[in-house]
Amino acid sequence: MKRLPKFRVFAIAVAGLVLAGCGSSEPTTPKEAVKQFIVVSAVDCADNTGLEFEQCITLLEKAIAEHDKAAVTYKKLAACEKAEGAERCDRIGEDLYRARLSAFQITMSAKPTAIPLYPGKTATPGFRTASNTEIAADADTFTFTKSAADAAHLYVGKKKG
């Protein structure tokens, strides 16, 4: 009988162990979904997410800084309202306008995060992210606070500029 080199014996043993794990009949439990909240202020955040008020302030300050840094700006109100919709723009500086910051998405991961949200651009109450992902107020994957749900309805029916 011919002897197999040690490496081949090792490789066969590892392959056997790997294959032994395939097709396990034990049921797998689905990962628990990460909770996501839509809030309009630090008080709203603290009252509804389980985070401390100071944590909410820190999260929202970071989201506001992201908004200040990344929001598209327009030189004229008319140009902003044409792109964002009527009454959906704020004046910044002397001659600049940008989309109105309207709410925040809080993601309750191991390290909670927050991103700025803007008025939605559809006829459905909700908000949108900076990348234009719409978040409807009745979305199953988000928990809208009462204040956020009320705010989501403010822009419905207002026509784009």
* 77-93: pLDDT as tens digits: 999 999 998 889 999 98
pLDDT at 39 over 60: yes
CB contact at 8 A, 103 and 151: yes
119 DSSP β-pair partners: 127
Kindly state the tokens that stand for 120: 């939605």
Please count the other Cβ atoms lying within 10 Å of the Cβ belonging to residue 118: 23
Confidence of residue 157 (pLDDT cuts 50, 70, 90): low
Token pair belonging to 143: 């928990």
pTM: 0.76
Asked if residue 9 has pLDDT above 90, the reply is no
Instruction: State the Cα–Cα distance between residues 101 and 116, nearest whole angstrom.
Output: 7
Distances (CA, A) of 99 to 67, 89, 148: 9, 4, 17
Task: Tell me the β-bridge partners of 105.
Answer: 38, 115
Residue 11 in this model has a pLDDT that exceeds 80:
no
Nearest to 152, CA basis, from 116, 114, 103? 103
In the structure, what pLDDT confidence band is assigned to residue 161 with cuts at 50, 70 and 90?
Answer: very low
Higher pLDDT, 138 or 12: 138
Among 26-30, 104-108, 148-152, whose mean pLDDT is lowest?
26-30
For 113-128, the DSSP string reads EEEEEEE-SSSSSEEE
**For the segment 24-36, what is each residue's pLDDT rounded down to a tens digit?**
455 555 567 899 9
Kindly state the percentage of the chain with pLDDT values over 70: 78
